A and B are shown apart, each in its own frame.
Chain A
Amino acid sequence: MTSTPPLLRVERLSITGPSGRLVDNVSLCVGHGRTLALIGESGSGKSLTALSLMGLLPPALSVEPGARVALEAQALPITDERAMRAVRGRRIAMVFQDPMACLNPYLTIGFQIDEALMAAGERTRDRRRERRDALLGDVELSPALARRYPHELSGGQQQRVMTAIALAGEPKLLVADEPTSALDATIAAEVIGLLRRLQAERRMAMLFITHDLGVASALAHDIAVMKSGAIVEHGAAATILAHPAQPYTQRLVSARQALARGARHAGHAEGEDAPAATVSNLTVDYPGRGWFDRPVRAVDAVSLSVPAGRTLGIVGESGSGKSTLAGVVAGLRRPSSGDVQLLGTSLAATGWRFPPATRRACQIIFQNPAGALNPRLTVASLLAEPLGLAGLPRRERRERAVAAVEEVGLKPAHLDRYPHELSGGQRQRVCIARALLSQPRVLVCDEVVSALDMTVQVDVLTLLRDLQERRRFAMLFIGHDLDVVGWISDEVAVMHKGAVVEIGPAKQVLGAPTHPYTRRLLASRTHPSPSDSRADGSTA
């Protein structure tokens, strides 16, 4: 298998920035026509490694001397801007994470593909137009789209256009940096299928960067795992997924599998509790702009309820109205019509002016904990705020704050830190502690683990479940990751274009869905299992 030299060989690559070494002595290789998945959590240095191969590192970062990079057995001058211009697009091409931001909003996509063909040395106009249409066909788009602007395309179509641009120079190596992370699940699955097909048809090698083990196993022949700037494990995909050797890889694999396997523990008798929150016939319209524009319906006649001590999961893609719904239940937004009953109080009847006791009894936790915590306050002050509102004397606040951080698995020492001194998972724990201080009876969780790394997600989810068992609050858990929502929820509601299309017990909805949209959503899931992976016969 290794008689010929690999297509790409990287040796002793280190990258330094103002704060120190970010990529540490990385060596890896990608074989001809093979896919290497570079896996790691945020900040592990995987994107920087990819950017450095294109010579596209941000100006503040630099490759340390001593690195050796060879493409097709020729040295690659990755620090020479002028020389790299001839390499980019023609020998190595790259697809990035956020396709909307990566396409120029002022130019038609036809122009942007044309430019790539020009850079690849295609001289005549007619020839470029011919090849442009062929490229669009290759990525399963209609050539008629060439006249559109990026914002007129969906996220999936944008990423296909990015792929077409990358293919324009017929590169030997395609570097894909989290190309599906910004896309909804069903779209992401399609794009992965496309990349897999193109890679096989064109016998192109691919360096695929991802934090998602499921995506990696669907695509990769080989896997390299990165942690804190260094590669900790490198080998055939099937071997690593079946028998991870390093503790870090083991945790990564088991975290995902635990979520995928475990439906929620059955500990609840059915129907023992009265509903803590009931939403009936709720509709939210956003006003149109100006005087003559039509309003947009974000939530459309939604009815659901969640009893004390239980969890209702709400899944749906971005724009399906789930966060708007969460905002109304938490009292952050007024609906256009319909009612929310919190603990027996009808909010429509009070004119959406929450009685203070009800307001405190319903708390919300958001997706991005860094944004939800005032950066100028210490954890202790952040926690003292709700206590002050509840009328607790100053002396007792510290004591209660200590109890609160210990309940969410932090140490009293964390009380004197500022949010930026904590990790993402720790920050989200602070948000949970703050929400719990008001003794909520209803907890609204809006994508609370989506911004966290996989292993941390499992920790935070376990914490939420344990807290719920102890405190018996009702939970409205909003998410787009079906495994996460399925794991924590008793019941699941599926939202699509503002309406609930399916609702029922979690096992039933996610196990035997009846609505076609739910089936599409479920079909797009990717799981890390050795049997899925593309590792060829040599490792079986």
Chain B
Amino acid sequence: MRAVHAANRLAVMITQGAALVVLIFVLNRVVPGDTVDVLALQGDLTPAQQAEMRRELGLDRSSAAQFIDWSARALAGDLGQSLRFGRPVADMVAQAIPTTLALAAGSFIVGLALALGLAIGAAMTGSRALAACVDAVNLWSIAIPTFCAGVVGILLFSIWLGWLPVIGSFVLPVLILGIDNAGQIVKPLHEELREASAAAHVRTARAKGLPPWRIAVFHLLPTAAPVTLALSGLVLTSLVAGTLTLEVLFGLPGLGSLTLNAVRGRDYPVLQAAAVVIALGLVLINGLADLLNRLIDPRLEQ
């Protein structure tokens, strides 16, 4: 059963990944004007020179031929050369990935810890103050976009208080993204835990005469795991979006900054590579979340 599921899941992931790569390639071609047009504006090239350049770069061939060519090279680790910097795109992407991963993982963990702590506390104690905190964090994430919080944060902590450097610090972006994450999952998590505390198997646990801490740890917490994972999968998308924006705002050299610079400079090879890496990363993370869900909930094996 496990092998069948893994095969199914892998097939779905490969299909998703391939579809995304094609989509990104097509979108890059749909944008009016190609690389040579951009260079022509900068370098004042004659039409003959432009045609020559297109032939050199292979841009005169059909899109399908270009795609096959690009994919074959990408699979071999060659993502082409940056038009602006002349460096291999693969190197530029590889340098940007750790920053983005650190920011995403850090804020994910902060968000999860905050949401779980608040939701469990509120559900177990039935405390109104904690329930209000759940609502507050939830409202915060709905009402305040991360870049707004980022700007205010820089103003407050870096400029007025002077506690943190303006550029290159991870502390503020991780906190801001973490709270944003927590806000998106804490409310459904709280609901789920409140319902779970009325579930039949929790009643059985009480009927055994177990102390409250045992009921919380062994009977309530696992119940929340599938919901947490499913929500986390959803939250990841907005987490990636948030990471990309905050990287730019806080001057962190990650995939977001790389993408933005590529867009500004019409550096199509870089833009395409960055988009593909982000998309495949998301597919991979969603697949992992599903796998984890299965490890936690033995019923899904059937």
Binding site for B on A (CB under 8 A): 54, 56, 58, 85-90, 93-94, 96, 98, 101-107, 115-116, 119-120, 149, 151-152, 162, 165-166, 168-169, 289-293
Contact = CB atoms under 8 A, between A and B. Distances in A.
B7 interface: yes
B118 to A, nearest CB: 21
B202 to A, nearest CB: 8
Interface string B209-245: 1110010001100110100000000000000000000
Contacts of A107: 218, 222
B222 A56 contact: no
A101 B219 CA distance: 12
A54 B12 CA distance: 50
A263 to B, nearest CB: 39
Most-contacted residue by chain A among B9, B203, B211, B296 (CB, 10 A): B203
Contacts of B8: 289-293
A132 to B, nearest CB: 14
- Lowest 8 CB-CB distances: which A-B pairs, in order? A290-B8, A106-B222, A89-B209, A88-B209, A101-B200, A119-B209, A104-B201, A149-B298
Nearest to A84: B209
B1 to A, nearest CB: 9
A169 B208 CA distance: 8
Contact of B302 (A58, A96, A151, A168): A151
Given A115-B208, A166-B207, A290-B8, 19 more contacts: A87-B209, A88-B206, A89-B209, A93-B207, A96-B207, A98-B200, A101-B199, A101-B200, A102-B203, A103-B204, A106-B296, A119-B210, A120-B209, A149-B299, A151-B302, A165-B204, A290-B9, A291-B8, A292-B8
A58 B202 CA distance: 12
Interface string B277-302: 00000000000000000001111001
A96 B5 CA distance: 34
Nearest to B202: A104
Contact of A291 (B11, B199, B206, B225): B11
B198 interface: yes
A106 B297 contact: yes
A115 B203 contact: no
A53 to B, nearest CB: 11
Contacts of B5: 290
B39 interface: no
Interface of B: 4-5, 7-9, 11-12, 198-201, 203-211, 214, 218-219, 222-223, 225, 296-299, 302
Contacts of A86: 209
A87 B209 CA distance: 7
Given A96-B203, A104-B204, A293-B4, A115 B299 contact: no
Contacts of B206: 56, 88
Contacts of B207: 54, 56, 88-89, 93-94, 96, 166
A98 B203 CA distance: 12
A115 B214 contact: yes
Contacts of A168: 208
Contact of B209 (A58, A90, A293): A90
Contact of A169 (B200, B203, B209, B211): B209
A92 B11 CA distance: 53
A169 to B, nearest CB: 7
A120 B210 CA distance: 9
Contacts of B209: 85-90, 119-120, 169
Given A96-B203, A292-B8, A88 B222 contact: no
A290 B12 CA distance: 9
A291 B15 CA distance: 13
Given A291-B8, A291-B11, A104 B205 contact: yes
A162 B71 CA distance: 58
Given A88-B208, A106-B298, A56 B203 contact: yes
A435 to B, nearest CB: 34
Contacts of A289: 8
Nearest to B198: A58
A43 to B, nearest CB: 19
Question: Which of B209, B214, B297 gathers the greatest number of chain A CB atoms within 10 Å?
Answer: B209
Contacts of A149: 298-299
A439 B218 CA distance: 56
Contacts of A292: 4, 7-8, 11
7 contacts: A88-B208, A104-B201, A105-B298, A115-B214, A151-B298, A152-B298, A292-B4
A290 B204 contact: no
Contacts of B210: 115, 119
B4 A115 contact: no
B180 to A, nearest CB: 29
A115 B218 contact: yes
B216 to A, nearest CB: 13
Contacts of B208: 88-89, 115-116, 119, 165, 168-169
Nearest to A88: B209
Nearest to A90: B209
A179 to B, nearest CB: 13
A8 to B, nearest CB: 16
A272 B299 CA distance: 52
Chain A CB within 10 Å — which of B4, B208, B222 has the most? Answer: B208
Contacts of B297: 105-106
A165 to B, nearest CB: 7
Nearest to B299: A151
Contacts of A94: 207
A151 B210 CA distance: 23
A119 to B, nearest CB: 4
A26 B299 CA distance: 41
Contacts of B9: 290
Contact of B204 (A96, A169, A291): A96
Contacts of A162: 204
Nearest to B223: A106
* Residue among A58, A120, A293 with most chain B CB within 10 A: A293
A104 B210 CA distance: 14
A90 B210 CA distance: 11
Nearest to B220: A104
A425 to B, nearest CB: 27
B286 to A, nearest CB: 16
Nearest to A106: B222
Contacts of A115: 205, 208, 210, 214, 218
Nearest to A166: B207
Contacts of B4: 290, 292-293
Contacts of B200: 96, 98, 101-102
A289 B294 CA distance: 15
A178 to B, nearest CB: 13
B274 to A, nearest CB: 32
A119 B222 CA distance: 20
A507 B142 CA distance: 68
Contacts of A58: 198
B183 to A, nearest CB: 27
Contacts of B7: 290-292
Contacts of B218: 104, 107, 115
